[in-house]
Structures are given as C-alpha cells and as structure tokens.
Structure 1
C-alpha cells in the first residue's frame, strides 16, 4: 500500500503541472525548464 501512496504523491504534482500547462500554453518554455530541473534531481 505504501507504493500506492508514493505514486499518488508523485502523480498529484504532475497532474497539477499538466493542468497549468493546458490552461496557459503560452508558458510552455517555463514549464519545460521546470520539468528539466525536476528530471535532473532524480
């Protein structure tokens, strides 16, 4: 069950980012920059 909670915690912010991107497509550059930073931390 711990894995399910971890997935929920990881997916929640990603879903929020996707909603933000869809609501403001003009700021795709900023979103890509933030995503690059997130992937670099892994």
Structure 2
C-alpha cells in the first residue's frame, strides 16, 4: 500500500489503519518507491 497517498480522520487513525494492513500482510511503500517500481519496467 502507498502510505503517503492514503489519509484518515486523524494521524492516530491513519497510523492504526497502516498497522492493521501490515498485520494483514501488506507492504508499506511511498509514492516515490511506487513510481520507481513502474519506471523499472
């Protein structure tokens, strides 16, 4: 998931949502990392 392109109603809500997604197996990345992954192809 692209963590810096997602929001929440508060910083705490955002951070807790990110933690739940990590526990479910998601890999957090930034939009820059995502862009570089696309460019690699």
What TM-score, normalized to structure 1? Answer: 0.41
Structure number with greater Rg is 1
